[in-house]
């Protein structure tokens, strides 16, 4: 089910942020209102769904009504996951308040070399409170030190034994820092090293979308499979809904079109509209070899992020969807 963008601003200004086209300062500062939030909740209930809702931003813990929203969802037996960098004072306090409630956290943390003292304290407090209900996710940056710090955090705070790694996706407007073609093999080697280091600790790796299989060797893919870290990063996005109630397919493709959720009778209808919109571009791939690759499948591999592949296809133009 969808990702609700409660805010469009953040306490960080990461150069790799693939949400940059929807965030301050490119967009005016915005908060999802209670009216928009409850309207979306009622809209979701029009069709049976998996009862899972993700709260994200920007940084969702900066929303002054986030506790009210969580209470609203828990009363309706919804499964709540908060996507947070865990570096705000509010995130630490919220994690402590929710410690006994069935709320999960996805902690999108940067390398600790970038933390200041206040961020470090907040992250440690939040992870301590969340424990096994928190899982780590981060983007691997080739120029940064290794990722062994993540394993140390998992051990220290008894977090979920799975890490989700990303390969720094580009925006369709190329507005952020993203991986160069030659970086993919470098990042793949870093992933394998992380899996090898985590294997004695029973820690496995999952993947964000946009990770092409071909950046790994056949031997590496086999190793990852044997150690429960199989590469599977097909592009089938949960739709993102902005603070104003506009639906986008995903943040990297935010500028390719959006529709207000009220345009559609229900979430299923909305999702089908977006899937049909992007289906013609799914087989583009990032290399000529993608054309006859047996893994070229939205459920398995798109040859890279769909936004990246569309940037490379200079003859592709997406209409505004009104035709």
Task: Determine whether 229 is exposed, middle or buried from the number of CB atoms within 10 Å of its CB (0-12, 13-18, 19+).
Answer: buried
Q: What is the rounded distance in angstroms from the CA atom of residue 77 to the CA atom of residue 180?
A: 43
Whether the pLDDT of residue 308 is over 80: the answer is yes
Residue 233: predicted pLDDT: 76
Q: What is the rounded distance in angstroms from the CA atom of residue 168 to the CA atom of residue 181?
A: 12
Whole-Å CA distances, 33 to 40, 64, 133, 199, 228:
11, 10, 27, 44, 41
Q: Which residue has the higher pLDDT, 263 or 284?
A: 263
Residue 323: predicted pLDDT: 41
For the stretch 14-35, pLDDT in tens is 999 999 999 999 999 999 999 9
Domains of the chain plus CATH, in order, are: 3-312 (3.20.20.70)
Using alpha carbons only, how large is the chain's radius of gyration in Å? 19
Per-residue confidence at 217, pLDDT binned at 50, 70, 90?
very high
Average pLDDT, the chain: 92
Residue 290: predicted pLDDT: 86
Per-residue confidence at 159, pLDDT binned at 50, 70, 90?
very high
Global pTM reads: 0.94
Whether the pLDDT of residue 129 is over 80: the answer is yes
Q: What is the mean pLDDT of the segment spanning 222-237?
A: 87
């Amino acid at each position: 089910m969808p990702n609700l963008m409660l805010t469009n601003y953040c306490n960080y200004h990461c150069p790799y942020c693939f949400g940059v086209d929807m965030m301050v300062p490119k967009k005016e500062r915005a908060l999802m209102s209670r009216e928009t939030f409850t309207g979306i909740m009622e809209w979701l209930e029009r069709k049976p769904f998996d009862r899972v809702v993700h709260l994200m931003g920007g940084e969702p813990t900066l929303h002054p009504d986030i506790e009210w929203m969580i209470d609203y969802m828990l009363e309706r037996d919804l499964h709540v996951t908060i996507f947070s960098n865990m570096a705000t004072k509010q995130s630490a306090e919220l994690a402590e308040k929710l410690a006994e409630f069935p709320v999960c956290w996805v902690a999108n943390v940067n390398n600790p070399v970038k933390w200041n003292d206040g961020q470090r304290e907040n992250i440690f407090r939040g992870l301590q409170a969340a424990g096994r209900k928190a899982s780590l996710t981060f983007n691997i940056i080739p120029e940064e030190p290794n990722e062994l710090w993540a394993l140390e955090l998992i051990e220290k705070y008894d977090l979920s034994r799975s890490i989700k790694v990303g390969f720094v996706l580009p925006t369709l407007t190329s507005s952020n820092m993203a991986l160069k073609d030659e970086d993919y093999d470098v990042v793949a080697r870093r992933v394998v090293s992380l899996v090898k280091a985590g294997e004695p600790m029973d820690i496995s790796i999952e993947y964000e979308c946009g990770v092409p299989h071909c950046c790994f060797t056949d031997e590496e893919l086999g190793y990852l499979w044997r150690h429960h870290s199989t590469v599977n990063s097909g592009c089938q996005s949960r739709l993102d809904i902005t603070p104003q109630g506009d639906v986008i397919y995903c943040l990297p493709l935010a500028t390719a079109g959006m529709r207000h959720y009220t345009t559609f009778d229900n979430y299923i209808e909305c999702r089908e509209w977006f899937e049909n919109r992007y289906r013609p571009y799914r087989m583009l791939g990032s290399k000529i070899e993608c054309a006859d690759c047996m893994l070229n499948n939205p459920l398995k591999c798109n040859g890279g992020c769909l936004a990246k592949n569309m940037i490379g296809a200079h003859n592709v133009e997406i209409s505004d969807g009104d035709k």
